[in-house]
Amino acid sequence: MSDNEFELIESCFKGKGGHSSPFTRFAIGDDASIHHPRAGFDLVVSSDTSVEGVHWPVDFPRSRAADRAVCAALSDLAAMGADAVAVWVNVMAKDESSVRKMGKGVSSALKRYNVELVGGDTCRSPVNAIAVTVAGELPEGTAMRRDLARSDDNVWLSGKLGFHALGLQQWLHHQRDGEYVHHLEEITPLISAGIHLREMGVRCCIDVSDGLLQDAGHIAKASRIGIDIELLQLPNWIHMCRSVGRKAFYEAVLHGGEDYALLFTAPAEMEIPEALAVKIGCCREGSGVSVFRNGEPCEVEQRGFLHFG
Amino acid sequence: MSDNEFELIESCFKGKGGHSSPFTRFAIGDDASIHHPRAGFDLVVSSDTSVEGVHWPVDFPRSRAADRAVCAALSDLAAMGADAVAVWVNVMAKDESSVRKMGKGVSSALKRYNVELVGGDTCRSPVNAIAVTVAGELPEGTAMRRDLARSDDNVWLSGKLGFHALGLQQWLHHQRDGEYVHHLEEITPLISAGIHLREMGVRCCIDVSDGLLQDAGHIAKASRIGIDIELLQLPNWIHMCRSVGRKAFYEAVLHGGEDYALLFTAPAEMEIPEALAVKIGCCREGSGVSVFRNGEPCEVEQRGFLHFG
């Protein structure tokens, strides 16, 4: 690494982001960051990559893309019910200006959620990309998981679906003032909701990053159950159907992804506050995800985003 | 993420690498991996990126490049004196074949050092690249750091320098049967040596990834001291000078990098076993790194690898 790169790290990354956490003894500046985990707590760690032209359009602002990448990673912690304590970023950039822009986005996202940037690296690359690794804490043994749904649980959704996919369509069709475009610009990881759910005793949760159908399928497969979803229970369906048509709405909700809502299951007797989530279905014995519209079965295509299709 | 991508993760990454560690409760398969850190221990974490055409030649085997990337990251743990407990990898790949090849390299490196692959992701990218995040454990408060050298310490080197840079030169000049080319193929992170040094009470260490001069400079700057290095004390200098000439040898040793030797300082009274390291200089008051040849000062250029030059 060159002096120039150290200067970039000093000016774009070191001390950026949220306040330092008791979890971290030493952040950026050595071969590794040094941490002291809390007794009685588990750590959860997620690591995800975003690549220009693959995860975001080439004409999308790089700072916003980096902001989104950080928030998407934080959403994984929300799905586990964890509080974020540290973030490492790897910035791959075509030029110094891209490093600075992505650094700005990283810093902005971490400030909003008050998470400390503790390490990572930056390097030259023929394509702009960013990998984000996040760590969160939660009381020992309480992490929400995909494999803990029961066949008599209800299925709930916290947050909204479809906005990102509709915004992306509008962006790609150069409708830059489209109704949904602003949903592209910022992801809201539901960290507080995740912690709340975990504290209430919810055991099974996932964040909807790959479309409702695929992510519900992950719960079904991991928990060895089936899931039934009622489309008319989805939040905002009336408004969105009117705005873009039923087909586009269902496409965006079922396959769109990247809204980072939380999909979770809970025993029927567990009371979930209305402000936190809506009930959109139930688990059952069996396997797979079935979709209903006003009680009638719908035929839906089973697919998500194809990376190596 | 597509089913296809999950299949790739299942076949290339899940359960690959070393044995599972007590540190990890749940590895690949949820939104995040789940860990239970040991009481009385600190965690150290490092995250680094390697990009095809930047960190490795485009005609270099991708499996070996990924193996090297993992070992380079493990070397950061060696520099802290930590034992590796978990690795996350982000594989960015042009095609499925590249994912498989890089997955093979990751798995191979992790098996050699018995470290579990616990998470990460894989995605399509116009350029092959890999980011590796590693976590290691060590007793609370004992991590070796760059900023803990004292002005009356001696400077020691564990491992050898210059081989990688000479091998790379030969590779780039199509001397594929060159004497040093095989040093390109595998990095040996000095994990056991790092743990040994930390247990002996060494407080200041760095791994030489950016060339001796630059990495010694990091210790000097962070510890607010100066460092004097005697070139004739460097291991292998006679043989290498004869083989490639003095100029190429010094260039490779001072600026080459990527040999992942450990550079550390220790009080004069600390006895370091000859098999573990050689004394190559001493710390002093002041700042900067000075280089001597048989006691005579040498003029050397201060530079490392320029990422955004």
- The ipTM value here is 0.90
Residue B176 pLDDT class (50, 70, 90 cuts): confident
Q: How far is B185 from chain A (nearest CA, A)?
A: 21
Residue A187 to residues A73, A104, B9, B116, Cα–Cα distance (Å) = 10, 16, 26, 31
Q: Per-residue pLDDT for B223 more than 80?
A: yes
Nearest to B2 among A2, A36, A309 (CB): A309
Note the pLDDT tens digit of each residue in A80-93: 999 999 999 999 99
Q: What average pLDDT does range A183-207 have in this prediction?
A: 93
What's residue A246's pLDDT? 81
Nearest to A47 among B121, B305, B307 (CB): B121
Give A3-139's CATH code, choosing from 3.10.580.10, 3.90.1310.10, 3.30.1330.10, 3.40.50.12280: 3.30.1330.10
Q: Which of residues 70-99 of B touch A (CB under 8 A)?
A: 76-77, 79-80, 82, 86, 88-90, 92-93, 95-96, 99
DSSP assignment of B229-289: EEGGGSTTHHHHHHHH-HHHHHHIIIII--S-EEEEEEETT----TTT-EEEEEEESSSEE
Angle at A120 between CA B301 and CA B210, to 5 degrees: 20
Longest Cα–Cα distance in chain A: 64
CB contact under 8 A, B43 and A25: no
CB contact under 8 A, B145 and A26: yes
Note the pLDDT tens digit of each residue in B78-104: 999 999 999 999 999 999 999 999 999
Name the percent of chain B lying above pLDDT 90. Answer: 62
Note the pLDDT tens digit of each residue in B226-258: 999 998 888 877 777 787 788 888 888 888 878
DSSP letter for B144, please: -
Signed CA dihedral, B217, B218, B219, B223: sign only: positive
- A271 class by beta-carbon count within 10 Å (0-12 exposed, 13-18 middle, 19+ buried): exposed
Q: How far is B105 from chain A (nearest CA, A)?
A: 19
CB contact under 8 A, A88 and B47: yes
Specify the range with the lowest mean pLDDT, choosing from A123-127, A242-246, A272-276, A277-281.
Answer: A242-246
Q: How far is A239 from chain B (nearest CA, A)?
A: 28
- B97 class by beta-carbon count within 10 Å (0-12 exposed, 13-18 middle, 19+ buried): exposed
Q: Which of residues 54-73 of B touch A (CB under 8 A)?
A: 54-55
Phi-psi region of A101 (alpha: psi -120 to 50; beta: other; left: phi over 0): alpha
Domain locations in chain B as residue ranges: 3-139, 146-298
Specify the range with the lowest mean pLDDT, choosing from A21-35, A92-106, A159-173, B259-273.
Answer: A159-173
Third-level CATH fold of B146-298: Phosphoribosyl-aminoimidazole Synthetase; Chain A, domain 2 (3.90.650)
Name the percent of chain A lying above pLDDT 70. Answer: 96
Residue A185 pLDDT class (50, 70, 90 cuts): confident
B181 touches chain A (CB under 8 A): no
What's residue A218's pLDDT? 94
Q: What average pLDDT does range B173-181 have in this prediction?
A: 84
Neighbouring C-beta atoms of residue B181, cutoff 10 Å: 17
Q: Which of residues 117-136 of A touch B (CB under 8 A)?
A: 118-127, 129, 131, 133-136
CB contact under 8 A, A123 and B42: no
Which residue of chain B is at minimal alpha-carbon distance from A28? B46
- The chain-wide mean pLDDT, for chain B, equals 89
